[in-house]
A and B are shown apart, each in its own frame.
Chain A
Amino acid sequence: MTSIELPHPDADIVDRRDAIVKDLTAIVGARAIISDVDGRRAYETDAFTAYKRLPLAVILPETTEVVAAVLGYCHQNGIKVVPRGAGTSLCGGALPAEDAIVVGVSRMNKVIEIDTSARTARVQTGITNLAISAAVGPNGFFYAPDPSSQLACTLAGNIAMNSGGAHCLKYGVTTNNILGVKLVMMDGSIVDIGGDHLDAEGYDLLALVVGSEGQLGVVTEATVRILPQAEGARPMLIGFESTAKASICVSRIIASGIVPVAIEFMDRPAIEVCEAFAKAGYPLDVEALLIVEVEGSEEEIGDRLAYIAGLAEELGPTSLIISADDAQSARIWKGRKSAFGAIGRKADYLCMDGTIPLSQLTHVLEEIGNICSRYGLGVANVFHAGDGNLHPLVMYDANDLRQAERAEQAGADILRLCVSVGGCLTGEHGVGIEKRDLMRVQFSDVDLAQQMRIKTLFDPAWLLNPAKVFPLDGRPQPIRAGPPVAVTPVAAE
């Protein structure tokens, strides 16, 4: 696919590659830099694999100070920087450029402090999402945001994209669970924002940093909220003959005063693929399947699931299965969490991420079907129904360039549809390069200019994660830093 424009690399920077690598090696030490082609190849893309660019070099620092030294050097020399967590972005948020350095935080993955009395954990941001929960688990706590890629994705990436997950209906997304960050600015200075208290002082800069897609700075440490684990949790499966009934069911559950921890939705194509892959025990004779999970003591769970079952039964479900034990619950969630992978074995797909008001669900799903069939493509839907965050998977054959292009067009049409019914382009994956050129569908030029002034405040030369988020035209002129300064090594060999 080639329809997303990427800027031409700065020939001057590319020409100076050897000198830049030499300087950076002097700053960070040979252990922390990857400059050979094979090594760099591993960083040429992220989970939005259609686009690949070989970075100038890759730096894997082990301390905040090294990150600061690298950014300071790049700032002085006008070199672009692409921050990277685990490279699981679905929107090209970590796509490098030929004239850019990748700064990966994956080696900074330590837990610094766990405070169960204040219910916080301070960690380096290269830690994986799941490793935070694993570290605080023995104390009876967990870290709430749970993106599907939680085994691999880093907290740094979660902060960059303000990641969500299946359980954010109850626990909120990343921005609701971060109390403080250590932010390395592009000029190499280090700023602490927030801390281990519940509200940060002054202007809410945390709100800007979380979800800024690595364009405002590199977060190397963060203090996250941790929550006590529930006594127990159990899902139920509710299958319907139509998506309309399933969506009414979701509305009724929420209107009844129960807020489950998760309400997930799958349509028939998704159910079939997931069932074949994970043997989750999903019913195959339904058009729409809800996974509804509640938490509490055994008795509370029983009461609540029975109540939800009562609501569902008024709508005549085709199938209603309450998980009997932990093993069954695990199978049910395994099916859902492996959905993307399972569909990926069947076909290449583009995963869209628009969010819509729940009241529009039936209409939007029908239209998504129409859009995809207009382009001659298949689609499977698996998403977070409780909060209206859709994930239509538009299936295509990557070897067929014209099909790939049609898939991109179908995806864009779907996102325009989401915005037109009152929703947004992306609920949890981020804009990256993928949705960059659709930003004007949702925002006016004035709205975008307000956001871009914030970008300029943090990164006047626009060096951090270039070519992402904002359309390439209409950007302000970068304000370049002063003349280059001497190299100061910070990492001993």
Chain B
Amino acid sequence: MSELLRPAADWELKSLITQCGEQNRPVEVVGSGTKRAIGHPVDASAMITTASLRGITLYEPTELVMSARAGTPLSQIEVELASRGQMLPFEPLDFSAALASPGGQATIGGVFATNNSGARRISVGSARDHLIGMRGVNGRAEQFKSGGRVMKNVTGYDVARALTGSWGTLAIMTEVTFKVAPLPDDIATIVYSGLPEDLAVELLSLAMGTPYEVSGTVHLTSGHAARIGTAPLAGQKTSLTALRIENFMKSVRYRKSRLIDALKAYGRPVELDLEASLSFWGELRRMAFTPHSDAILWRISTSPRKAADLVATLRRHMPVEATYDWSGGLVWLEIPDCADAGAADIRRAVAIAGGHATLIRANESVRREVDVFQPQAPGLEKLSRGLKLAFDPQGLLNPGRMYQTM
């Protein structure tokens, strides 16, 4: 069991990292560890958690901005926002069911460190788009800041945003400042059944090209759809293709009917009201379509235009269930357990289609052998390696988590 370090202040974290540097002792960095099973296993004799760096430090509902210390539970932030009729617009995913990690414990720092964004990303942008400032400590044990608390800020390089999605390998964020948004007045969902993947992605893309501000675009193949429990979709044996509209009540009514009309070639959809919509998109947010099992889970980011073909290619090699989000641009691909987690076939298909693939769920021995993040072209790899050195020259923070030799 590794030693657990729980700094409660920035200066305490700084002194811990200083010691690690002096002893040349790498550390694993976590929030509450809900996504610890993603990435290469980190070999370190100590673990630093931000869990004791807690609390909302600024909330200005009239400016749509909030600051919180990194270890603040996401649940606390969402409760506080909801009390003022606001939300985190990018809808971060809850990985606990998919990874069998403890539920409801994700921290806001972890959300940004992994650039964790859900279905609404398609219309409002990702976690990285909402981060406007941070404080933290880098691998040189230096306390630094970037950005601030205002939405428009081009003063100096955008270091804060560059830290999103760096999985704790560059710096440990101690406080994050981000944009929030009003909760919608009303939500409706329209769901089409039985569409094949290529037609479904076509429909989702078409919907995104309308002016009705569709804020959720997802397609589940029949195996994934069968795991959805929201009435009236529960027990379906066919694929599901769903579109979400959020707005003021009158607008939702109007836009829904216009959308159904524009998409009538694809059949007659089932309509979900506010409550059923909350339930359905809640299930997607909790990744109910892929509960923890031996099955391998990949996350593939590609152009919507290529997505269905890419999955069809893979299906020739292996049994596949898939959930397409972001109008097809994000594919959650589930395949049976196998020696290399399907990496060789998947990497080849992604290389042809463009984009990248990340191994999200596989047992530890596979994650030691297989590249978890997309291997990079030489030019990019050189920059990534240089960036790591610019923040963490001794390689103290989460060594090897993203790339085995960094």
Expressed in whole angstroms, the minimum distance between the Cβ of B179 and any Cβ of chain A is 9
Which residues of chain B are near A448, meaning CB under 8 Å?
A: 156
- Please tell me the number of chain B residues within 8 Å of chain A, measured between CB atoms: 80
B153 within 8 A of A: yes
On whether A203 and B166 interact (CB within 8 A), knowing A300-B254, A443-B156, the answer reads yes
Determine the distance from Cα of A303 to Cα of B185 in the docked complex, in whole angstroms.
14
Chain B residues in 8 Å Cβ range of A203 = 162, 165-166, 170, 383-384, 387
**Which of these binds chain B: A45-53, A185-193, A235-243, A279-287?**
A185-193
* Residue A477 lies at the interface, judged by CB distance under 8 Å to chain B: no
Residues in chain B near residue A300, CB distance under 8 A = 248, 250-251, 254
* With A202-B374, A202-B380, A228-B209 as contacts: A255 and B62 at CB distance below 8 Å: yes
Q: Do A457 and B374 form a contact, CB below 8 Å, given A254-B62, A299-B254, A446-B143? A: no
Residues of B within 8 A of A228 (CB): 208-211
Complex Cα–Cα for A477 and B158 (A): 23
- Contact assessment for B182 and A257 in the assembled complex, using a CB-CB cutoff below 8 Å: yes
Apart from the given pairs A204-B161, A454-B157, 7 other A-B contacts in the complex at a CB distance below 8 Å = A162-B158, A192-B380, A207-B158, A251-B62, A431-B156, A442-B155, A447-B156
Contact of A195 among B149, B251, B355 (CB under 8 A): B355
Name 30 A/B residue pairs within 8 A (Cβ), A-sorted. Answer: A119-B205, A172-B129, A189-B379, A191-B380, A197-B303, A198-B329, A198-B330, A199-B117, A199-B301, A201-B380, A202-B376, A202-B380, A202-B384, A204-B115, A204-B162, A208-B158, A211-B154, A212-B157, A255-B62, A257-B185, A296-B251, A297-B254, A357-B149, A359-B63, A387-B152, A427-B152, A450-B391, A451-B157, A451-B159, A454-B387
Contact B304 A117 (CB under 8 A): yes
> Once the chains bind, are A204 and B155 in contact (CB under 8 Å)?
no
> Counting CB contacts under 8 A, is A268 at the interface?
no
The answer to whether B62 and A358 have CB atoms under 8 Å apart is: yes
Q: Which residue of A lies closest to B202 (CB)?
A: A117
Contact A425 B63, beta carbon cutoff 8 Å: no
Tell whether A399 is near chain B: CB-to-CB under 8 Å.
no
User: In the complex the two chains form, is A175's CB within 8 Å of B391's CB?
Assistant: no
Instruction: Tell me if A115 and B303 are in contact (CB < 8 A).
Output: yes
List B380-406 residues whose CB lies under 8 Å from chain A.
Answer: 380, 383-384, 386-387, 389-391, 402
B338 at the interface (CB under 8 A from A): no
Whether the Cβ atoms of A359 and B62 lie closer than 8 Å is yes
* A201-B373, A205-B387, A257-B183 as given contacts; A355 in contact with B152, CB under 8 Å: yes
Pair A357/B60 contact, Cβ less than 8 Å = yes
- Inter-chain contact A422/B129, CB cutoff 8 Å: no
CB proximity of B392 to chain A, nearest CB, Å: 11
Among A141, A203, A469, the most chain B Cβ lie within 10 Å of the Cβ of A203
Complex formed: what's the CA distance from A357 to B209 in Å? Answer: 34
Q: Does residue A389 face the partner (Cβ distance < 8 Å to B)?
A: yes
Asked if B62 contacts A205 (CB within 8 A), the reply is no
A427 touches B390 (CB 8 A): no
Which residues of chain A are within 8 angstroms of B206 by Cβ–Cβ distance? 117
Contact B301 A197 (CB under 8 A): yes
Decide yes or no whether A472 CB sits under 8 A from chain B.
Answer: no
Q: How far is the CB of B128 from chain A (nearest CB, A)?
A: 6
Residues of A within 8 A of B161 (CB): 175, 204, 207
Q: Which of A141, A208, A384, A444 has the most CB of B within 10 A?
A: A208
Q: Out of B121, B149, B158, B303, name the residue touching A175 (CB < 8 Å).
A: B158
Determine the residue in chain B with the shortest Cβ distance to A256: B182
- Chain A contacts for B63, CB-based, 8 A: 251, 254, 357-359, 388
Residues of the B chain whose Cβ atoms lie less than 8 Å from the Cβ of A146: none
Distance in angstroms between the alpha carbons of A296 and B122 in the assembled complex: 19
Whether A197 lies near B390 (C-beta < 8 A) is no
In the A-B complex, the 3 residue pairs with the smallest Cβ-Cβ separation, listed nearest first, are A207-B161, A427-B152, A201-B356
The yes or no answer to A27 lying at the interface (CB within 8 A) is no
Q: Given A356-B150, A388-B150, are A196 and B354 also a contact pair (CB < 8 Å)?
A: yes
Q: Least Cβ distance of A26 to chain B in Å?
A: 27
B210-248 vs A, CB cutoff 8 Å, 1 = contact: the mask equals 110000000000000000000000000000000000001
Mark interface residues in A449-464 (1 if CB within 8 Å of B CB, else 0): 1110111111000000
Whether B150 pairs with A427 at a CB distance below 8 angstroms is yes
CB distance from A431 to the nearest CB of B (A): 6
The distance from the CB of B303 to the nearest CB of chain A, in whole angstroms, is 4
Among candidates B61, B150, B376, B387, residue contacting A255 with C-beta atoms closer than 8 Å: B61
The residue that A230 contacts in the complex, of B125, B211, B386, with Cβ under 8 A, is B211
Residue in A185, A198, A258, A388 with the greatest tally of chain B CB atoms within 10 Å? A198
In the complex, the answer to whether B62 meets A435 with C-beta atoms within 8 Å is: no
B164: interface (CB < 8 Å):
yes
Q: Is B305 an interface residue (CB 8 A)?
A: yes
B interface residues, Cβ below 8 angstroms from A: 60-65, 85, 115, 117, 121-122, 125-126, 128-129, 138, 142-146, 148-159, 161-166, 170, 181-183, 185, 202, 205-206, 208-211, 248, 250-251, 254, 301-305, 326, 329-330, 354-356, 373-374, 376-377, 379-380, 383-384, 386-387, 389-391, 402
Q: Is B182 a contact of A388 with CB atoms below 8 Å?
A: no
Interchain CA distance A447-B157 in the complex, whole Å:
10
- A contact residues around B128 at 8 Å (CB): 199, 204, 207
A191 touches B303 (CB 8 A): no
Provided the pairs A117-B209, A228-B208 are in contact, do residues A201 and B150 lie with their beta carbons within 8 angstroms? no
Pick from B60, B145, B150, B157: contact of A387, CB under 8 Å? B150
CB atoms of A428 and B154 under 8 A apart: yes
- Complex Cα distance, B131 from A66, in Å, reads 37
Asked if residues A119 and B380 are in contact (CB atoms below 8 Å), the reply is no
CB of A234 within 8 A of chain B?
no
Contact indicator A201/B158 (Cβ below 8 Å): no
Question: Quick check: B159 and A454 within 8 Å, CB to CB?
Answer: yes
**Contact across chains for B64 and A254 when beta carbons are under 8 A apart:** yes
Whether the Cβ atoms of B155 and A435 lie closer than 8 Å is: yes
Q: Is A429 in contact with chain B by the CB < 8 A criterion?
A: yes
Within the assembled complex, what's the spacing in Å between the Cα atoms of A344 and B158?
A: 32
* Given A197-B354, A198-B330, A203-B384; A118-B303 close (CB under 8 Å): yes
Residues of B within 8 A of A389 (CB): 150-152
Q: Which residue of B lies closest to A168 (CB)?
A: B152
**Chain A, range 156-203, C-beta contacts under 8 Å to B:** 161-162, 164, 168-169, 172-173, 175-176, 185, 189-193, 195-199, 201-203
Kindly provide the distance from the CB of B41 to the nearest chain A CB, expressed in whole angstroms. 19
CA distance A425 to B138 in the complex (A): 24
A191 to B380, CA, bound (A): 7
Query: B138 near A450 (CB under 8 angstroms)?
Result: yes
Q: How far is it, in angstroms, between the C-alpha of A78 and the C-alpha of B13 when the chains are bound?
A: 41
Q: Specify which chain B residues have a CB less than 8 angstroms from the CB of A251 in the assembled complex.
A: 62-63
Contact of B126 among A199, A229, A456 (CB under 8 A): A199
Query: In whole Å, how far is B254's beta carbon from the nearest beta carbon of chain A?
Result: 7
Point out the residues of chain A lying under 8 angstroms from B355, CB to CB.
195, 197, 201
Q: How far is the CA of A336 from the CA of B371 in the complex (A)?
A: 53
Task: State whether B303 touches A205 (Cβ < 8 A).
Answer: no
Which of A193, A201, A426, A457 contacts B155, CB < 8 Å? Answer: A426
Interface residue? A116 (CB, 8 A): yes
**Per-residue B-contact encoding for A199-234, CB less than 8 Å = 1, 0 else:** 101111101101110000000000000001111000
Known: A199-B301, A388-B63. A446 touches B144 (CB 8 A): yes
Q: Is A87 an interface residue (CB 8 A)?
A: no
Chain B residues positioned under 8 Å from A457 (CB to CB): 383, 386-387, 389-390
Check A104 for interface membership: any CB of B closer than 8 A: no
